[in-house]
Amino acid sequence: MKFPIYIDNNSTTPIDPKVLEVMMPYLTDKFGNAASKSHRFGIEAEAAVEHSREQIAKFINSEPGEIIFTSGATESNNLALKGIAEMYSKKGNLIITSPTEHKAILDPCKYLEKHGFEVAYLKVDEYGSVNPEDLRNAINDKTILVSLMIANNEIGTINDIKEIGKICKEKEVLFHTDGTQAVGKIPVNVNDMHIDLMSFSAHKLYGPKGIGALFIRSKNPRVRLVEQINGGGHEKGIRSGTLNVPGIVGFGKACSICSEIMEDESKRLVFHRDRMINRLLENIDHCYLNGHPQKRIPGNLNMSFQFVDSEGLMMEVKEIAVSSGSACTSATLETSYVIKAIGKGEEFARSSIRFGLGRFNTLEEVDYVIDRITIAVNKLRKQSPLYELFLEDRKS
């Protein structure tokens, strides 16, 4: 085994060597700008971009022209929410989402609330799922957009996106989903799921960082939005800026690889995930799984270890790379708003660890992590005054 062991694949995945291989020529000899169509270098770059666009579109069952390249899912989310809000502001001002969305949804929603829009936050159940009937009841004649994620980035719970999309279609309301944690891990079909816009990113599916996409439906209905970056009219005028050709090539290849191996990979990851969940629950008292036990993405498990601070636990197991929540909020001292939104409270939020298993993790690594976490939790509990009080209360 090599140390440290990386178990934080929900934060980012390593680049698959096959992805890096196809990217390298576009970082060296094939360095052309895809917008420079007057010579071979630019034409070659443009051809590579369009090939990748086709690979990505095929993977989610869209048309190539419905894929708009961005710098990542955060930009895609901002483009979708703000772009739709501006385009359809005369129709209404209500956006519907949930309190467990990624900050890349919640923060743009806060921005829009300051600029005259209303945002309704649907409650989630104990697993972090949205009840589709709550959505149906929340939609009114002022609703212009529903934005609900496919799978949660912290607790891994998968929403009933097909039913949510069906309701939006019936109500003739546009439906955007943050597919960042789902695409490449579980089957995502934008037509079957009635998705009108979807954000996703290459670095969550073994591609490079700094490249993402926004799927924008072109018919039934045709979705229109206001561009958020001006300057040159790239990507059909929706997102200006010189295209990241190497990143796009890597994105396309990453999707192509996922389409070939995702089914088998998911089975292996579910086996590793469930092995870790079951053994941790068996080995450690007062250990709890956050999120749905079955309806969750294959490699994700989020556990709360009562009487143990997650930061202290991560310091104790420095040879294991895990996180206490979303990578985008890890720089703050705030405990997980997702754990609190599912009704677990501050104590559970403060003691939660997210494990993200991935393509390159081995069974040997999984078993090492199980044993190491068990030892570390028991050690830290012996040092915890709260745990001592708890044991004394049980005796009395």
**3-state SS assignment for residue 213:** strand
Beta strands in 122-182 (DSSP E): 143-147, 174-178
**Chain-centre distance of CA 231, in angstroms?**
29
CB-count burial class (<10 Å; 0-12, 13-18, 19+) for 303: buried
Ramachandran category for residue 235: left, alpha or beta (phi over 0 → left; psi -120 to 50 → alpha):
left
CA–CA gap between residue 274 and residue 277 (Å, rounded): 5
CA distances from 115 to 75, 105, 119 (A): 19, 16, 11
Q: Is 328 a catalytic residue?
A: yes
CA–CA gap between residue 340 and residue 335 (Å, rounded): 8
**3-state SS assignment for residue 138:** helix
Beta strands in 76-211 (DSSP E): 94-97, 118-121, 143-147, 174-178, 197-201
CA distances from 223 to 144, 147, 196, 220, 266 (A): 12, 14, 7, 9, 33
DSSP-assigned letter for residue 69: E
CA distances from 323 to 116, 153, 175, 281 (A): 36, 12, 31, 19
Cβ atoms within 10 Å of 86's Cβ, excluding its own: 15
**3-state SS assignment for residue 366:** helix
CA–CA gap between residue 132 and residue 390 (Å, rounded): 40
Pull the structure tokens for residue 261.
């191996």
Pull the structure tokens for residue 286.
């007062």
Residue 377 backbone dihedrals phi, psi, to 5 degrees: -65, -45
CA–CA gap between residue 194 and residue 219 (Å, rounded): 12
CA–CA gap between residue 188 and residue 144 (Å, rounded): 23
Q: Within the chain, what is the greatest distance between any pair of CA atoms?
A: 84
Residues belonging to the active site: 328
